[in-house]
Structure 1
Amino acid sequence: MLTVSLNGVEFFAYHGFYQEEQLIGGRFIVDLSVAFKPVDELSADDITHTVNYETLHSICRSEMSETRKLIETVAQAIINQVTTQYPFVEQVDVLLKKMHPPLSGPVNHSAVRITYNKGDN
């Protein structure tokens, strides 16, 4: 199994249950890991034989730009896009952190993690 990951990808976005969050926005951090069995020899040194992390970044950027109430919805949308783009993937793990959520005291981040396993579907 081979894993391609992006870690600590930062975005400014407008996700949040409360209207104020959707107006003022905030910082979010995405960690994304995609695992698969290579379909061809990696020694071919060909990007079409792997998952392109530039494409993964583009998927994250696109989904983060869609304002949603729940970060769970955003994480699932990232997974949906990855599995559509790369139907051969076996596992996708998304950890989405909302930095300094508006709570009654200091909180570094809230987070949601969703893991897709091909065999579970």
Structure 2
Amino acid sequence: MYKIKINNMKFHSYIGVYQEEKKIGQNIEIDLIISLSKKIIKDDDITSTLSYGDCYRKIEEIVKASNVDLLETLALEIIEEIKKLNDKIESVQVNIRKLAVPINGIFDSVEIQIKD
């Protein structure tokens, strides 16, 4: 098995429970870890593996179209769509961070992590 990781992708989203979050939007960060079977590596050819460019574009498309309430829902949508990109994918992990959360307190971000 080997892994493809894309770290700290940044997007502007309209995800959240509160109307302000859906109206104004906010910045989120996403990490993606994909575990694949080594059998996929045949030669030095991009068609023998999974293109991380394709993964990034798929996540960008999902985030732009989404207005779900929960980060968990967004993560599950991402996992489902990434798995469709290649049948050699063994697991997908998504971490999503919200940088501005309507909570009275001092912290950098909140984060969810889902692996399937």
TM over 0.5: yes
The gaps in structure 2 that reach 5 residues or longer are none
- % same residue: 28
Which TM-score applies when normalising by structure 1? 0.89
Match of 1:59 in 2: 58
Partner of 1:70 in structure 2? 70
**Corresponding residue number in structure 2 for 1:21:** 21
Check conservation: 1:101, 1:107, Cα contact below 8 A.
no
**Are residues 40 and 19 of structure 1, via their aligned partners in 2, closer, same or farther at CA, if it must alter by over 3 Å?**
closer
- Aligned residue number for residue 81 of structure 2: 81
Task: Compute the displacement of 1:54 (Å).
Answer: 0.3
CA pair 60-27 structure 1, distance change in 2 beyond 3 A:
same
Preserved CA contact (<8 Å) 1:5 1:32: yes
Q: Deviations over 1:62-87 (max 9, x none)?
A: 11111111110100000000111222
Amino acid at match of 2:111: A
Question: What is the letter of the counterpart of residue 101 of structure 1?
Answer: V
Shift, 1:100, TM fit: 2.1
The answer to whether the aligner puts 1:90 opposite 2:90 as a matched pair is yes
Equivalent residue of 2:73, what SS? helix
Aligned to 1:34: 34
Q: Which ranges in structure 1 are unaligned for 5 or more consecutive residues?
A: 117-121
- Runs of at least 4 residues of structure 1 off by over 4 A? none
Q: CA deviation at 1:101?
A: 0.8
Kept in 1, the 8 Å contact 2:17–2:70? The answer is yes
Separation in 2, partners of 1:114, 1:41:
26
Aligned pairs, number: 115
Change in Cα spacing, 1:41 to 1:98, as seen in structure 2 (3 Å) is closer
Query: 1:35–1:21: structure 2 CA closer, same or farther, 3 Å change rule?
Result: same
Aligned residues: CA RMSD: 1.2
